[in-house]
Structure 1
Amino acid sequence: MSLRRDKNKRKINFKVIATGVVAITLIGIVGISIGSNSGNSPFNSNIILNVSSTLENGVSKGVQFFTGGFSDILKFKSNANKVAKLEEENTELKKQITELKGELEDTNSLEKLKKALKFVDEKYVANQVAAKVVSKNDGLWYTSIVVSAGSEDGVKENSLVINGDGLVGIVTEVSSNYSKAITLLDTTSSVSFKLSRDSNCKGIITTGTGIKNEEANRDKGLLQGYMLDSDYDVLPGDSVVTSGLGLYPKDIVIGEVTKVTEDKSKSLKYVVVKPNVNFKSIDNVIIVEPRNIN
């Protein structure tokens, strides 16, 4: 029993000592604080000043952080408004560009139509009607088209169809307000031509001539034909125009010779011609009244 009591006494004494140490420490801290406030301890004053300065710097940085953050928010809102305004202006500019492109296309189309009129000889008096292509055949190349002009506009069957690049084709059907035409690429189309450098060298653009790879040429948008005389001197690069025979007035551009082959057994000289008209894209045409060749 006595041993247990001794141990408890030792434990109690240890706690008392620890409590005393803590109390003394606290008293010392208070003393230091009082001394620093009275100016007797410069060293401790510096410590307190450093701590105070640190606190002030922290507060200052905090204020700067919140101020900067608030400023960034204001800038973000301002920039967002600027972006919205720029997007609105960009949309308006795109609209204006689209309108200008449309006007430019119309102007270019009119210029091409004016050029097309030059293909018709001034001595050839005929009614001329400008029209838009409103429909075409299925497929890559324009072999038949429907135009926005008919009998009420003076269009007649067998009227000539041209654009600023040259000969397009001929009208085959006419209704009140619309007409159908076949182009030079149609298998039933046929036109007499001559070489622009030598009007004596004539031939016929037509299908079924027996040219090798004729179908492949047609698939490439090329024309084929033959010379009326195998002795005619025709070469790749020669320009081909209408001869003036038949329904078509003379000197309307058809295209350019790309290949010449000769069949001596038949005494025929064949030609492959690249048309001047882009038969992938035809927008506006001029329809010219057919000549009276009776």
Structure 2
Amino acid sequence: MSLRRDKNKRKINFKVIATGVVAITLIGIVSISIGKNSGNSPFNSNIIMNISSTFENSISSGLSFFGDGFSDILNFKSNAKKVEKLEGENAKLQKQITELKGELEDTTSLEQLKKALNFVDEKYVANQVAAKVISKNDGLWYTNIVMSAGSEDGVKENSLVINGDGLVGIVTEVSSNYSKAITLLDTTSSVSFKLSRDSKSKGIITTGTGIKDEESNREKGLLQGYMLDSDYDVLPGDSVVTSGLGLYPKDIVIGEVTKVTEDKSKSLKYVVVKPNVNFKSVDNVMIIEPRNIN
């Protein structure tokens, strides 16, 4: 008897629950229906509006994105033409800059060569040829050079080679259209000099002087030599120029004394000279006909 009552209670409880659920559902449906008819929905209308607004904004943003992209596609060809035009104008400007730079270099070169002529007496100026250095020896320093002027231009052997900074060297070989020269740094070069402040104090720029650091000095692009008299008062900082003895006319700038050493056992005073010409870069020169010393 007790088991049957339990089963009946369970059946009754299930029916009660089911009946309750159905009743609640019906009440909900009725409420919605009444809300629609009266305009007062039990649901929050703001939520619905927000969802609708968000959806509309998304559609608007998407249309704007595609619209902008389509506009860019339409303008691509026009932009490409503008870029091409700018590149063409840039190329023209680059060409003009290169031409102006070349003209400036030529003008600078002419000014340097005019300055070079100030080193030589007027009687030598009439026999001069401007030339470019077209080749040089291997290595850091210019010791041997080839120039773009030869016998057809009036260049002769032993002609003087100078630039706007001073003495470069001397012509050793002449062909019809080019010539070769050795610079002051060449081991076979030799030139007589004097102190610009005292023309009586003379010496010789040459190699093989016996200076302790002669090879090291040469590697540094320095000249070395000796005074003809050990009693000559020579000091670092003294300017040296050609003395006028031998092939070179006087007063052409050579360089500046950087070191003085004395060998009392040989009664000699040695000098190290920094050349005024930059022998790392010699581009334009003036070739002066040699004077007749016979």
* 3-state SS in 2 of match to 1:157: coil
C-alpha distance 255-119 of structure 1, shift in aligned 2 (>3 A): same
1:163 aligns with 2:159: no
Moved more, 261-270 or 68-77: 68-77
1:40 CA drift (Å)? 4.4
TM-score of the superposition, structure 2-length normalised? 0.83
Counterpart of 1:55 in structure 2 is 52
- One-letter amino acid of the structure 1 residue matched with residue 50 of structure 2: S
- One-letter amino acid of the structure 2 residue matched with residue 202 of structure 1: K
Percent identity (aligned): 74
Map 1:3-152 onto structure 2 (within 5 A): 21=21, 25=25, 31-44=30-43, 47-68=44-65, 70-71=67-68, 92-124=92-124, 126-152=126-152
* 3-state SS in 1 of match to 2:112: helix
Counterpart of 1:256 in structure 2 is 256
CA distance in 2, matches of 1:28, 1:129: 119
CA distance in 1, matches of 2:194, 2:130: 27
Counterpart of 1:3 in structure 2 is none
How well do the aligned residues superpose, as a CA RMSD in angstroms?
A: 3.2
1:14 CA drift (Å)? 7.3
CA distance in 2, matches of 1:270, 1:19: 130
* 3-state SS in 1 of match to 2:113: helix
Moved more, 199-208 or 76-85: 76-85
Moved more, 114-123 or 207-216: 114-123
* 3-state SS in 2 of match to 1:293: coil
CA distance in 2, matches of 1:53, 1:64: 16
Map 1:167-246 onto structure 2 (within 5 A): 167-246=167-246
C-alpha distance 91-24 of structure 1, shift in aligned 2 (>3 A): farther
* 3-state SS in 1 of match to 2:187: coil
Q: Unpaired runs of 5+ in structure 1?
A: 1-6
CA distance in 1, matches of 2:29, 2:113: 106
Contact 2:133 2:147 in 1 (8 A): yes
1:282 CA drift (Å)? 0.5
* 3-state SS in 2 of match to 1:115: helix
Aligned residues: 282
1:222 CA drift (Å)? 0.3
Contact 2:160 2:289 in 1 (8 A): yes
- One-letter amino acid of the structure 2 residue matched with residue 233 of structure 1: D
* 3-state SS in 1 of match to 2:104: helix
* 3-state SS in 1 of match to 2:122: coil
1:84 CA drift (Å)? 6.9
- One-letter amino acid of the structure 2 residue matched with residue 52 of structure 1: M
* 3-state SS in 2 of match to 1:187: coil
1:57 CA drift (Å)? 2.9
C-alpha distance 73-265 of structure 1, shift in aligned 2 (>3 A): farther
- One-letter amino acid of the structure 2 residue matched with residue 193 of structure 1: F
CA distance in 1, matches of 2:226, 2:216: 17
C-alpha distance 247-55 of structure 1, shift in aligned 2 (>3 A): same
CA distance in 1, matches of 2:289, 2:22: 122
Moved more, 54-63 or 105-114: 54-63
CA distance in 2, matches of 1:51, 1:286: 96
1:128 CA drift (Å)? 0.6
Moved more, 93-102 or 50-59: 93-102
CA distance in 2, matches of 1:19, 1:211: 127
- C-alpha deviations, 1:146-179, integer Å up to 9, x for none? 0000000000000000001100000000000000
Q: Unpaired runs of 5+ in structure 2?
A: 1-6
